[in-house]
Amino acid sequence: MNLLRPTLLTLACLMALPSHADDLPSLGDASSAIVSPQQEHQLGRAWLSLLRGNVNQLNDPQLKDYVETSVYRLAETSQLQDRRLEFILIDSRELNAFAAPGGIVGVNGGLFLNAQTEGEYASVLAHELAHLSQRHFARGVEAQQRMQLPMMAALLAGIVAAAAGAGDAGIAAIAGTQAAAIQEQRRFSRQNEQEADRIGILNLEKAGYDPRNMPSMFERLMRQYRYDAKPPEFLLTHPVTESRIADTRNRAEQAPKGGTEDSQRYQLIRARVALIYEGTPGLAAKRFRAQLDENPNMDAARYGLALALIKGGQLNEARESLKPLLAKAPNDITYNLAQIDLEITNNRLADAQQRVDRMRALYPANYPLQQARIDLLLKQNRPAEAEKALDALLKNRPEDPDVWYDVAEVRGLAGNTVGLHQARAEYFALVGDYDQAVQQLDYAKQRAGNRVLKEKIDARQRELMEQQRMVKEMMR
């Protein structure tokens, strides 16, 4: 965690520094002169690589695809000007989501466990996008000069400890900071939160959601965690008060009635996440069966049961669970991906291939489907074709470390040793381990068979070394 700490400290505190709801930033304001959008972008990408190397992540393609698609939908109607977004899905059942400078959007698995509808989920992400669109980081840098450095450092230490998972220690550190600094930081945070609520509500309405979902979620969270000695991190950094609920409720009620509150796809994604955090597939199956007993028409529970049965090796039962879903929606990509997973697990590769081919005709650019096809190719012992498919996937996901990890594995299976080390270098760079990245390119150069390839590898090595230098410079 040593490498992550300085940058995370800086970002965490500066996001909470002063802003004023009626003083929206522009490209020509003082904050832009101090921290430009491009500097924010570079800082955010550097911080993301370090964060990736220090937290466990969720690499489920369907979950990633849902988060990315839903956030981009909100971004289209937001006030966000720079829409170069990058995402990180953190493997934690604790409720949390965040936005960091440079378009970094983070979501904990626990957000899906706590947000019971798509509208509630969207209200959290709309709020976080508002932090980005109003450039609270850049505006905070300007105001940073009004805080004494020792006070700021103490606050930062507490915030990063809490963000790293040491919640009690982090809270204690914040509580031990000088009272004046705490009060000032809290006031600044409230101003930013109010502004993000206001902008987020406007965005929800524009994106076609019912903005009443925001106060509804706040109300439920307050009831749920009112008496908890240790509330989730999201409520520590986004305090929910009666006045905040009243303010968001008043603003939301001004919007016309209507708008999306929930969707079947969101409930299917919630079922996938619930399975991740159950102790065993058997416990998950028991929970989904209980939901079906209560509501036999609950398709999300039937889907979750099928996934749990596949994971638990009960393949015939899983097939029976999927049958009514596929009969009702034969072209639904989510149900078909589950059936493909079932066929691969059952070693019925011809059936899986037939279904993959049919789905590709309907959804040629679908990322989870592309990943399922790659998994099938590997199961069929066709690594060369899997490598080509991954190369095509990289064109759309060049900054995805999970894809680069798979590329390295597949190139190794295909006997492409040079390509293996090149892919490993890209993976390590994306997770902030530049020393390993540079070393992997050394290995690649040693095995390169011609001068042109060696020069290409050498050029990429210099680029990574420059990136490493920039990261170290940012962290001083």
Q: How far apart (Å, rounded) are the C-alpha atoms in residues 452 and 229?
A: 62
| Catalytically annotated residue among 86, 118, 197, 406 | 197
Instruction: Reply yes or no on whether 402 is catalytic.
Output: no
Phi, psi of 238 (to 5 degrees): -130, 70
Take residue 293 and report the two structure tokens written for it.
């007993």
Q: Which amino acid is at 91?
A: D
* Alpha carbon 414 to its chain's center: 31
| Catalytically annotated residue among 128, 184, 332, 433 | 128
Q: Which residues are within 8 A (CB) of 11 and not within 5 positions of it... i.e. 6 or more apart?
A: 43, 47, 100, 101, 137
Take residue 165 and report the two structure tokens written for it.
């998972």
* Alpha carbon 117 to its chain's center: 18
Q: Report the greatest alpha carbon distance in the chain.
A: 68
Instruction: Reply yes or no on whether 22 is catalytic.
Output: no
Give yes or no for a contact between 256 and 212, defined as CB atoms under 8 angstroms apart.
no
Q: How far apart (Å, rounded) are the C-alpha atoms in residues 79 and 89?
A: 24
Total Cβ atoms within 10 A of residue 246: 12
Give the β-pairing of 86-90 and 104-108: parallel
Q: DSSP string covering 234-289, please?
A: HHHHS---HHHHHHHHHHHHTSPS--B---HHHHHHHHHHHHHTSSSHHHHHHHHH
Q: How far apart (Å, rounded) are the C-alpha atoms in residues 258 and 351?
A: 43
Give yes or no for a contact between 174 and 164, defined as CB atoms under 8 angstroms apart.
no
- H helix or E strand, kind and range, residue 119: helix 118-133
Q: Find the length of the chain.
A: 476
Take residue 136 and report the two structure tokens written for it.
């609270």
Q: How far apart (Å, rounded) are the C-alpha atoms in residues 113 and 87?
A: 19
Q: How far apart (Å, rounded) are the C-alpha atoms in residues 315 and 343?
A: 9
Query: Locate tokens 């697990």: which residue?
Result: 345
Active site residues: 128, 197
